[in-house]
Amino acid sequence: MSAPTAHDPAALEQLVAAKEVIVACGSGGVGKTTTAAALAAAVAARLGGRVLVLTVDPAKRLADALGLKGIGNEATRIPTSSFEAAGVKPKGELYAAMLDMSESWDALVRRHAPDARTAGQILANPLYRNISRRFSQGQDYIAMERLYELHEEGSYDLLVVDTPPSRNALDLLDAPARMQDFFSSRLLHWLTVPYRSRLVNLASKPFYQVADRVLGSQLLQDVADFFILFQTMREGFVARASAVDRLLHDLRTTFLLVTTLEAVPGREALEMKAALSERRLHLGLLVCNRVLPSTLTDPSSHEAAEALSAGAGELAELLSRQGAGELPADVTARVIEEVAGSFSNFRQVATRESELARELSSAHGVTVSVPYQPGHVADLSGLLQMGGTIWGEPGRSPRRRRS
Ligand SMILES: Nc1ncnc2c1ncn2[C@@H]1O[C@H](COP(=O)(O)OP(=O)(O)OP(=O)(O)O)[C@@H](O)[C@H]1O
Ligand SMILES: [Mg+2]
């Protein structure tokens, strides 16, 4: 295995200074929300400016640490005193907000409906609330849409955007295009045609007769009403979705891919990397999160474990002669062998992790490994510590990428 190398903190600083938007993406549960918050805190502390982290459904303790109370698109500032309590004098300002799906959908409807009356009708439609909140792919779109809006407002120097826990991380990248497709889809056409013409197509008549009996004509009417109203927003939605897509491709935007080095998230991260490059989206930073300590793969640790295992009997005798306990030497010897064996197993996992990290770290900006931090990273001090690791600060013991 080749010697470990550190990423150059200046490279990350350069990257962050050149960007206005960082989109954290990756598989479910790998640490996107935590990493986005840690990076935003690190930038606010070191580079200055106004930095906003837009989180999606943060764990309760993290939300508390960021001062996020309940839902709402409103941003809150993390007071300088909180940084100071964590031993840091920040150069800039850190803000946090939580993505509020309901509020964001309603704002979109108000913006794109042709008039206030139509907007009111859509918002009051019984299906609207259900569909807009449960439409899981809508979550991806809303996250990107909200990002666009915040960027347009221009109140922040850097936006770090967390993304929803998606079953398929790739969905996020195609969310704006899918929204455009939806408006030209046959599904939408089909849903609205019968009502529009008031003449039920003969071929579909049996279906409507059954649907009418099972669902009731009121529900069918609500469905048709909703989609007809929804179509009135077509132009605005399509234009907006393509503006969102342009922002994702803008030179001022970069992606932060977060992954753990376990087999499944690792494979998904490789796919995500390929998908970003295929779509010409810039991947500036890869964070391998919750990795095992690099000391596990040191050749000398391996030799020590082998020696421990080979000398288990002698060691056990020595310990019992020294009166280390009442335990018989054979029990102690077995425990020593188990410990050495477990170490070797961990070492094997750590070796696989570093191979995967090497595979993942080719052909993009900066790769950082963040060790598993026992206890959750759920207060500002923990976030700043993780941020320091991401930054590659000396003394914060970043786990370095092998090259
Ligand atoms: N380096 C770390 N060390 C220890 N725990 C961590 C680390 N990074 C994240 N965690 C913990 O892992 C859990 C998942 O993290 P997080 O919520 O950030 O993941 P996520 O990718 O945003 O998940 P989701 O896809 O559900 O949104 C949290 O409990 C968090 O505190
Ligand atoms: Mg999350």
What was the pLDDT predicted at 397? 42
What was the pLDDT predicted at 5? 40
- 125-129 average pLDDT score: 79
Structural domain harbouring 284: 4-293+358-402
Cβ-count burial 259-273 (b if 16+ within 10 Å, e if not): bbbeeebbebbeebb
Work out which ligand 1 atom sits closest to the CA atom of 258. Answer: 21
Measuring from atom 16 of ligand 1, which residue has the nearest CA? 31
Judgement on whether residues 142 and 124 belong to the same structural domain of the protein: yes
What was the pLDDT predicted at 318? 85
Between 18-27, 286-295, 321-330, 352-361, the lowest mean confidence (pLDDT) is in 321-330
In whole angstroms, what is the distance from residue 309 CA to residue 156 CA?
57
- pLDDT band at 234, cuts 50/70/90? confident
Judgement on whether residues 98 and 201 belong to the same structural domain of the protein: yes
Work out which ligand 1 atom sits closest to the CA atom of 290. Answer: 1
| Residue after which a domain boundary falls, among 314, 338, 353 | 353
Work out which ligand 1 atom sits closest to the CA atom of 373. Answer: 3
What was the pLDDT predicted at 95? 95
Judgement on whether residues 270 and 328 belong to the same structural domain of the protein: no
Pair 146, 99: CB distance under 8 Å: yes
The runs of H, that is alpha helices, within 22-170 are: 32-46, 60-65, 80-85, 101-112, 116-124, 126-134, 136-153
Please give the torsion angle defined by the CA atoms of residues 190, 195, 197 and 201, in that order, rounded to the nearest 10 degrees: 60
Distance, CA 191 to ligand 2 centroid (Å)? 34
Quick check: 322 pLDDT over 50? yes
Distance of CA 328 to the CA centre of its chain: 51
- 249-259 average pLDDT score: 95
Judgement on whether residues 225 and 343 belong to the same structural domain of the protein: no
- 268-280 average pLDDT score: 91
- pLDDT above 70 covers what percent of the chain? 83
Q: Is the model more confident about 273 or about 66?
A: 273
**261 closest CA partner among 346, 162, 165:** 346
Work out which ligand 1 atom sits closest to the CA atom of 57. Answer: 27
Judgement on whether residues 155 and 224 belong to the same structural domain of the protein: yes
What was the pLDDT predicted at 156? 97
Q: In what order do the strands lie in the sheet with 253-260?
A: 76-78, 93-98, 50-55, 158-161, 21-25, 253-260, 283-291, 366-371
Tokens of 230: 């929804």
Measuring from atom 10 of ligand 1, which residue has the nearest CA? 31
Between 41-55, 212-226, 230-244, the lowest mean confidence (pLDDT) is in 212-226
Hey, which of 69-78, 85-94, 341-350 has the most confident mean pLDDT? Answer: 85-94
- 301-324 average pLDDT score: 84
Q: What is the count of structural domains for the chain?
A: 2
Q: What is the enclosing helix (H) or strand (E) of 340? A: helix 329-360
What CATH number is given to the structural domain containing 394? 3.40.50.300
Instruction: Select from 172, 377, 380, 385 the residue to mutate for testing ligand 1; criterion: most ligand atoms less than 8 Å from CB.
Output: 377
Q: Which ligand is nearest to the CA of 382?
A: 1
In whole angstroms, what is the distance from residue 369 CA to residue 291 CA?
7
Judgement on whether residues 164 and 185 belong to the same structural domain of the protein: yes
Q: Which ligand is nearest to the CA of 30?
A: 1
What was the pLDDT predicted at 400? 37
Instruction: Select from 25, 34, 292 the residue to mutate for testing ligand 1; criterion: most ligand atoms less than 8 Å from CB.
Output: 34
What was the pLDDT predicted at 216? 63
Judgement on whether residues 322 and 195 belong to the same structural domain of the protein: no
- pLDDT band at 83, cuts 50/70/90? very high
Judgement on whether residues 287 and 317 belong to the same structural domain of the protein: no
What was the pLDDT predicted at 206? 61
Judgement on whether residues 11 and 110 belong to the same structural domain of the protein: yes
What was the pLDDT predicted at 360? 78
Measuring from atom 18 of ligand 1, which residue has the nearest CA? 31
Judgement on whether residues 192 and 324 belong to the same structural domain of the protein: no
Judgement on whether residues 289 and 303 belong to the same structural domain of the protein: no
In whole angstroms, what is the distance from residue 146 CA to residue 172 CA?
13
| Residue after which a domain boundary falls, among 320, 335, 353 | 353
Instruction: Please give all residues whose beta carbon lies within 6 A of any atom in ligand 1, as ranges.
Output: 28-34, 59, 165, 289-290, 370, 372-373, 376-378
What average pLDDT does the structure give for the chain?
82
- pLDDT band at 401, cuts 50/70/90? very low
In whole angstroms, what is the distance from residue 14 CA to residue 166 CA?
30
Q: For the purposes of burial, counting CB atoms within 10 Å of the CB of 299, is it exposed (0-12), middle (13-18) or buried (19 or more)?
A: exposed
- pLDDT band at 77, cuts 50/70/90? very high
**∠ at Cα 248 (161, 70), nearest 5°?**
25
In whole angstroms, what is the distance from residue 110 CA to residue 131 CA?
17
In this structure, the strands spanning 283-291 and 366-371 are parallel
Distance, CA 162 to ligand 2 centroid (Å)? 7
Work out which ligand 1 atom sits closest to the CA atom of 386. Answer: 1
Output DSSP code: residue 159. E
Judgement on whether residues 381 and 270 belong to the same structural domain of the protein: yes
Q: What is the pLDDT of residues 43-62, one digit of tens each?
A: 999 998 999 999 888 888 88
Quick check: 13 pLDDT over 70? yes
What was the pLDDT predicted at 261? 93
In whole angstroms, what is the distance from residue 350 CA to residue 144 CA?
35
Q: What is the pLDDT of residues 172-194, one digit of tens each?
A: 778 878 777 777 777 666 666 65
Distance, CA 31 to ligand 2 centroid (Å)? 7
What was the pLDDT predicted at 197? 55
Quick check: 199 pLDDT over 50? no
Tokens of 164: 């929803």
